[in-house]
């Protein structure tokens, strides 16, 4: 299939950006992000274009603190402990093996989930509208 001039221009621009980001330009620091251009050309009467990217993410602060409070619940201070004592206990627990192991386990699970999601969506086709398109074509005599 031959690309339109506009799509060729976008493709070439994307290649130039990727080359520059990979250090082809003098004085460029380490790669911080990658630019991905998506060009779509509609070939039929109907089109539905959905694009999204999965980003690998680290365990966020909210989740890390949730795990820390869970560790604290298993080994809490006395109810009359001053706030500084509670914070000291939390800091100690944040340095514990079990806390770090749990965080590493969750991070590994998230990475595996992102990998599975990318694999699943990479081969999916959206065909929910196929029946309606066929009906419209039938009614229109196409």
Question: Which tokens hold the place of 71?
Answer: 């560790």
Largest CA distance in the chain: 81
> Which residue reads 């602060």 in tokens?
61
pTM score over 0.75: no
Please give the backbone phi and psi of residue 46, each rounded to the nearest 5 degrees, phi first. -125, 150
Is the pLDDT reported for residue 122 higher than 70? Answer: no
Residue 126: both structure tokens together? 């959206």
Tens digit of pLDDT for each residue in 2-16?
666 665 655 555 555
What is the reported pLDDT for 85?
93
């Amino acid at each position: 299939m031959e690309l339109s001039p506009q799509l060729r221009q976008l493709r070439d621009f994307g290649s130039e950006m990727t080359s520059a980001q990979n250090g082809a330009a003098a004085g460029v620091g380490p790669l911080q992000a990658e630019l991905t251009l998506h060009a779509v050309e509609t070939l039929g009467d109907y089109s539905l274009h959905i694009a999204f990217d999965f980003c690998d993410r680290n365990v966020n602060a909210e989740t890390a603190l949730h795990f820390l409070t869970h560790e604290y619940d298993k080994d809490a201070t006395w109810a009359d402990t001053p706030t500084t004592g509670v914070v000291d206990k939390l800091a100690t627990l944040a340095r514990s093996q079990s806390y770090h192991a749990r965080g590493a386990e969750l991070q590994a699970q998230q990475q595996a989930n992102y990998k599975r999601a990318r694999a699943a969506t990479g081969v999916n086709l959206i065909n929910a509208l196929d029946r309606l398109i066929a009906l419209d074509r039938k009614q229109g005599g196409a």
